Structure 1
């Protein structure tokens, strides 16, 4: 598992320009998976159903995860729209992002090179005004402990900025916590050591 944080869009962006009477509108949005990306594409297509083309590309997971990339020329000549859009997204280092470029045709052909420049350039301009957040990769622990250990465990969790997801109280305490994956092993070891092995740690689950 890659535990390195990566950037994701903080908010949606829209930019627009006119090139040889064709109107190009570029939309960028945070999409947390392939289905979310496809949903956003469908939303923009519905919004601009009268446009000649709604070309798109997405990076639906980590920036470098090519298994979660997708693109479409949506009727433009092959390789002139989807690939240039995708190239800008992958080059940005931002993950979980979808770009849709809507084109209202103005009657003047741009040629292959002109289309590549228009679609790629539109996304480049939109990326220039995009704000981002850092997404930390988290994992979850399940802790089983005695009531007498709660205060100590909560102190350790706080020192690692861990979050209690749920807590069940019965004959003992069953606590599910979430923490930055980079701190996971250290925090688990600290809990076990400081309670002299009386607290069990189980179920490290990737929650990215």
Structure 2
């Protein structure tokens, strides 16, 4: 099961007089990732190397470091920590001592890995979208039961009799929600997958 971060986090490390600052944050899109990188990059630093991953999409940059020594190790750290929907930016201020390609890969990948390990992680749950209709009298009862079924209320549209609810639920909990809905509405309302 993949994880994301609950909130942004950072990790600092000095390696042979070079300073490394690693920043990581949860994201939901490529645009969010690029905005985070632009907002937090330090133009006075020697290198601003980064990687991000959202589902099957990913990108990375070595920002002037030798090819394959920064961006790819950062992405490998993201995948190695079983993370998704995260961006990691590693800022380096050069200290005058060459680290070599292996040393650079260890510094960038290691910093990213330590930052992700230190951050508060949340499990990413794949949810299916569905909808149902409830009468006004049934709404409060159903809404009270949604959290115990790990269901997120994404929207509701009212009509003369009640409301149509748009829900997102883990696939495994779908039968439980259908049974609960049937019990509350006495079989009148059924769950429709969207």
User: TM-score, normalised to structure 2's length?
Assistant: 0.83
Residues 1:188 and 2:178 are matched in the alignment: yes
What does 1:83-94 align with in structure 2 at a 5 Å threshold?
Answer: 83-94=72-83
Tell me: CA distance 1:103–1:163, structure 2 relative to 1, closer, same or farther (3 Å).
closer
2:15 to 16, 19, 25: 19
User: For structure 1, which segment, 135-144 or 154-163, has the greater mean C-alpha deviation from structure 2 after superposition?
Assistant: 154-163
Residues 1:59 and 2:66 are matched in the alignment: no
C-alpha RMSD of matched pairs (Å): 2.6
Residues in 2 aligned to 1:74 and 1:174: alpha-carbon distance in whole angstroms = 52
Tell me: CA distance 1:200–1:173, structure 2 relative to 1, closer, same or farther (3 Å).
farther
Residues 1:49 and 2:43 are matched in the alignment: yes
**2:81–2:117: 8 Å Cα contact kept in structure 1?**
no
Query: Cα distance, 1:168 vs. partner?
Result: 4.0
Tell me: CA distance 1:151–1:122, structure 2 relative to 1, closer, same or farther (3 Å).
closer
Residues in 1 aligned to 2:128 and 2:186: alpha-carbon distance in whole angstroms = 23
Tell me: CA distance 1:91–1:195, structure 2 relative to 1, closer, same or farther (3 Å).
same
**1:23–1:104: 8 Å Cα contact kept in structure 2?**
yes
Unpaired segments of 5 or more residues in structure 1?
A: 62-66
User: TM-score, normalised to structure 1's length?
Assistant: 0.78
Matched residues, number: 193
Query: SS in structure 2 opposite 1:184?
Result: helix
Query: Cα distance, 1:159 vs. partner?
Result: 5.3
